[in-house]
Amino acid sequence: MVAPAVLPHVDAVAAALTAAGLTVYLGGAPAGVSPTASAPYVVLYPDPGRAETASLADDRTNFSAVIQLTCVGLTAEQVMSVSDRAMAALSVVLAVAGRASWKPESLDGQPVQRDDDVVPPNYYAPSRYRLRSIPS
């Protein structure tokens, strides 16, 4: 049995968010990108995940990871709207090839914050979700 991988799970999250009409980046926004009135975005920060034992035989085929979604916009309202759309997009079972997934589990988040270190100032709010799957 092949050990599970994090990238297909991250790709499934990105696909769900993109299908909801959101712009998604992985690990940070590209240089020069900033939100506009019509183009807020979400940045994904996944942890590497871990293979977990599925039985006493120590077959490490189950998968668990945490992914942070950081919603970024020009206003606090824009960030909350993006966060609402992301939460709705992740309220379904994600399609991961060869895996049976759970719905992403919302773990926690932080209040909307203003970032004055960029011009124009941005607002952002991070939230974290647990991803889990087993072989299908």
- The per-residue pLDDT string of the chain (136 residues; one tens digit each, 9 = 90 and over) reads 667 899 999 999 999 999 999 999 999 999 888 888 778 999 999 999 988 776 666 677 899 999 999 999 999 999 999 999 999 999 999 999 999 999 999 999 999 999 999 888 999 999 999 999 999 8
Domains and CATH numbers, the chain: 6-135 (3.30.2000.30)
Rounded Cα gap, residues 99 and 93, in angstroms: 11
pLDDT for 57: 64
pLDDT for 54: 66
pLDDT for 97: 92
pLDDT for 60: 76
pLDDT for 59: 76
DSSP the chain: -PPP-HHHHHHHHHHHHHHTT-EEEESSPPTT---BTTB-EEEEEE---EEEE-STT--EEEEEEEEEEEEEESSHHHHHHHHHHHHHHTSS----TTEEEPPPEEEEE---EEETTSSS-EEEEEEEEEEEEEE-
pTM of the model: 0.91
